[in-house]
Amino acid sequence: MSQDRNKDYEEEAAHHNSALGTKEYWDNHYDMELSNFEDTGDEGEIWFGKSAENRMLRFVCEKVTKNSAILDVGTGNGSVLRKLRQKGYMELTGIDYSEGAVELAKKTAEAEQKEHPTKLPTINFHVADLLDIQTSPKLCHRYDIILDKGTWDAISLAGDRSARLQNYRRSIIDLFRKNEGDYDGGPQLQRYFVIFSCNFTKDELVDLFECEDLVFDSEILSTNTICFGGKEGTTSTGVVFRKE
């Protein structure tokens, strides 16, 4: 990111601090959703709604092989991973820095397993904070596909955004499997970072994340648009980066 762009970015960030960027907010949110699930079986909201989730699922199903290792960061209630499991994906992991979110995701996935007539693979869920200065060794170099549906949006809304971006982007790169030696002699799988945002445009996401290790691949366009003030647009932007 250029020095001028970085200065503009910091000035903009100073005006966008929000409770949504704090761990405390999400701990309280998922404690409430976990309580609701235990009381009524309500799985909670789909973050960004079904439209963005369906766009993400469509990309994965069209471009990603069933034997790929998929990681959902900021997994929330685990909805994306449960949908991918229904579509035949086997190696699925979700992480979140909120213990309540991880507990909710585990319980919703287990409840689905019990109701399904055939055995479903287990989805792995872990508590992990990608803003830590060091990526958890148990997660490093394990995944082919990394999904983010609104997670960067939330964590970018509080604190030193540049420092958060640096740690977050480094963590994403650390999570990918390496180029060589991780495929047991089989063909190397394509590796993608797929991110959805309602706060950043495609060009802004490219400016934030493209680097030597992450190269812009494509935009996941929406089939539905909204019109406001005579201009058409979508409620979220989906961008795919290829891991080099």
Give DSSP secondary structure letters for 100-159: HHHHHHHHHHHHHHHH-SSPPPPPEEEE--TTSSS--TTTTT-BSEEEEESHHHHHTTSS
Which residues are registered as beta bridge partners of 192? 145, 242
**C-alpha neighbours within 13 Å on the C-beta side of residue 154:** 22
Q: Distance between CA atoms of 118 and 144, rounded to whole angstroms?
A: 27
- The mean pLDDT value for 56-75 works out to 96
What are 182-240's pLDDT values in tens digits? 455 555 688 999 999 999 999 999 999 999 999 999 999 987 654 444 444 567 999 99
CATH architecture of 3-243: 3-Layer(aba) Sandwich (3.40)
Which residues are registered as beta bridge partners of 212? none
Q: What is the mean pLDDT of the chain?
A: 86
Count of CB atoms situated within 10 Å of the CB of 121: 12
Which residues are registered as beta bridge partners of 91? 69
Taking the CA atoms of residue 163, residue 32, residue 76 and residue 126 in that order, the dihedral angle to the nearest 10 degrees is 80
Map tokens 């060589």 to a residue.
180
Give pLDDT, residue 73. Answer: 98
Q: Are 170 and 96 in contact (CB under 8 A)?
A: no
User: How far from the centroid of its chain's Cα atoms is residue 241's Cα?
Assistant: 13
Among 187, 218, 188, 214, which residue's Cα sits nearest to residue 202? Answer: 218
- The mean pLDDT value for 98-120 works out to 92
Q: Over 90: is that where the pLDDT of 38 sits?
A: no
Amino acid found at 168 = Y
The torsion angles phi and psi of 26, rounded to 5 degrees, stand at -75, -30
Q: Give the pTM.
A: 0.86
Q: Over 80: is that where the pLDDT of 63 sits?
A: yes
Map tokens 């685990």 to a residue.
78
Range with lowest mean pLDDT among 1-10, 100-109, 117-126, 196-205: 1-10
Q: Distance between CA atoms of 130 and 143, rounded to whole angstroms?
A: 15
